[in-house]
Amino acid sequence: MSFLKILFVSPEAVPYAKTGGLADVAGALPKSLAKLGHTVKLVMPLYKHVDRDKFNLKQVASSLTARIADRDGKFNLYESGSDVGGLEVLFVENNGFFDRPELYRDPSTGRDWADNDERFGFFARAVLETCRYSNYIPDVIHCNDWQSGLIPAFLKVDSGYSDFSNASTVFSIHNIAYQGNFPSESFSKLGLDGSLFAPGGGFEYWEKVSYLKAGIWYADLINTVSETYAGEIQSSNEYGYGFEGVLKDRSADLFGILNGIDYNIWDPSVDNLIPANFKPEKLAGKKKCKNALRKRVKLPMVRRDIPIIGIISRLADQKGFDLIEEVAEDLMALDIQIVLLGTGDEKYHRLFSELHKKYPKKIAALLEFNNEMAHLIEAGSDMFLMPSRYEPCGLNQLYSLRYGTIPIVRKTGGLADTIENANPAKGTGNGFVFTGYDAREMLNAIKFACEVYRDKNVWEILMLRGMRQDFSWDASAKKYIELYKKAIAKKNR
């Protein structure tokens, strides 16, 4: 096997900075690629809240330049001195662009930073200058989401990058609803020939400049984070968010590879954030975690054992909270308790605050993000609810399986690829699945789960089936290597 030189570019990565699932992928996949023997560098911006001391960041270059908006922007390059499993992690420092309280959004207005076009245009060029400074021209540059979508475009249309002529590009779409669309004036900031911004071209999208479209249009290959989602985003506007036609045109170059999870972090047998460890052969710790969860969120013990349903999510329509709102009173009438953790739309903050006030013995709503609490909810819940309108991959259903917490999901995207509806009579399935985006269907799936829960032997068999499944990054990383090789072969045709 020939080993590859891989550059992994992401606007966020665990444990340094995170807003969503992309950070989990960027924190785990490069490490798994390095473990397979490949040379891997991860590059991301140096944001304000990256802890320089904790990760032992060291400056390795100063006053490098990347051109944006007709000026040379300066940046310093930092490297993590902490051991990250054979992976080199590099950070682009420009305080004017990245020393801000949030990654993409101005908290004072609730809207995206007005100069995100310049911030991530600069980042794209800085990444390529980082390669030059490091004398590291990769075989593959793996770009993630719109924030790095300009890199494949620059390499294809800017003659100043001829030294990258052998580098192939892969562009991953983690959630196509986030597109990086900017006013037409933004194109002049990119330092490219004006004729490239034209209807039907790689940058123009409804008279705007789209960094997402640039990534899709110019990358050698494209992928997304589950096979079902790869099909869905080509199928209709509902899933493709306006890009279904562009993706269909590149259908032969579009692949789906399911995300993995990092079992060093998400495994109840080794998790140091939960009060008791457990594994398939020794489940007693699960009950201790359930009791600890109830105590922590002040839900009362009840006379007979009833299930706790966990929810950890961004509170947004996409995640199915409109379905929950529609049948909230019916849910509260069931013999269940609910623990919710998350932040998002104000209307859902109000909904869950009001439900908690009305039903303090039935529902606990923690309107925040707390990593330790996320682990306790996974470990202490009996079921995990994900009624998403769409879900590119989903990670919590995979964490839940490992923790013996049975997922209740809608059949979409990665949820469809990972969760099979339980059939207790046949001894098959690993969760509860409903098909239509419909509140009553969701409610019926929850009721069925509660019925099955009453038979402890059947429930334990279901738990154990899920806990023994393997969704580690190892298998997914090998699929990415195959994808990279396809990209290289396509480039060399």
275 in any annotated domain: no
Q: Do both 315 and 224 map to the same domain? A: no
Residues 485 and 453 in one domain: no
Nearest in space to 396 (alpha carbons), one of 102, 19, 27, 20: 20
Residues 90 and 195 in one domain: yes
Q: CA-CA distance, 386 to 398, in Å (whole number)? A: 11
| Residue 279 counted as domain residue | no
Do 239 and 128 share a structural domain? yes
Q: In this structure, is residue 270 part of a structural domain? A: no
Domain count, the chain: 2
Domain match, 459 and 478 both: no
Same domain, 247 and 305: no
Give the domain extent around 130: 5-260+474-491
Q: Do 328 and 436 reside in the same domain of the chain?
A: yes
pLDDT score of 368: 92
- 181 and 216 in a single domain? The answer is yes
pLDDT at 62: 97
Q: Given phi > 0 = left and psi -120 to 50 = alpha, else beta, which region is 308?
A: beta
Predicted pLDDT of residue 303:
74
Domain assignment present for residue 276? The answer is: no
pLDDT on residue 1? 53
What are the per-10-residue average pLDDT scores of the chain (493 residues)? 92 92 92 95 97 96 96 97 85 98 93 97 98 97 98 97 97 96 98 96 97 98 97 95 96 96 93 98 97 96 90 93 97 97 94 97 94 97 97 95 98 98 94 98 98 96 97 94 97 86
3-state SS, residue 120 = helix
Q: Closest by alpha carbon to 27, among 206, 270, 266?
A: 266
Question: What are the structure tokens assigned to 300, written together?
Answer: 């009362």
User: Is residue 435 domain-resident?
Assistant: yes
Q: Per the domain annotation, does 268 fall within a domain?
A: no
Cis ω for the linkage preceding 45 (within 30 of 0):
no
The verdict on 111 and 252 lying in the same domain is: yes
CB of 394 closer than 8 Å to CB of 319: no
H/E segment holding residue 433: strand 432-434
pLDDT of residue 405: 98
Q: Are 76 and 104 part of one and the same domain?
A: yes
Query: What pTM, to 2 d.p., does this model score?
Result: 0.92
What is the maximal distance between C-alpha atoms in the chain?
A: 73
> Which letter, b or e, does each residue of 187-207 get, where b requires 16 or more Cβ atoms within 10 Å of its Cβ?
bebbebeeebbeeeebbbbee
